[in-house]
Structure 1
Amino acid sequence: MANKKWSAKVTRESHALVLEEGVFTWDDPKRIAMSLKKSADESTQRKGTPFRSAMSMLVFYINRAGKKLNTEQRQVLEEAKIELRKLYGK
């Protein structure tokens, strides 16, 4: 049963990125991407590259929210992935 709760533990205990409050609820994909980039670039505890850390956090949130994430917000977050790639030249 403990293995099923790994994502909740990551959400509670991960300190790899310090995120702005409510970043995943914003309605501007570019603002979300810029905030994630800033957090990843400034992090001293991440294990991978800043791009990888920022993208991982975004994808993790989308996957963790699952069916609870409404269609509009999911679209904003998917667009934030595109903006994040642009910011990092990927």
Structure 2
Amino acid sequence: MSTGFDDSFPDLGSMSDDELKRLIAELTDEERQVSYRRRTMHGKIDILRAELVNRLRTRREEGESALTGADVDQLTEILLGKLPPLSWDPPR
């Protein structure tokens, strides 16, 4: 029986009730860990963004340009769709 998941997903029909319960518990725990990691990363991203905003605000208040030439170049590349693909390869 094909489950429509990936090849590592077990044949559910051949599993006992106890095996199913154990797998549910394992996957629930793994999902909880992933969720915690995601929330932690979002918190760090928020802190970093707030720091960047504060720095840009300070530069502007001191009469400096908030954006550099490199920022404009990168924005241009984004808008033209010329940025290379992300180097991050999601786990499988």
Q: TM-score, normalised by structure 2?
A: 0.25
Q: Select the structure of larger CA radius of gyration.
A: 2
Q: TM-score, normalised by structure 1?
A: 0.26
Identify the structure with the greater helix proportion: 1
Structure with higher RCO (Cα < 8 A, 6+ apart) = 1
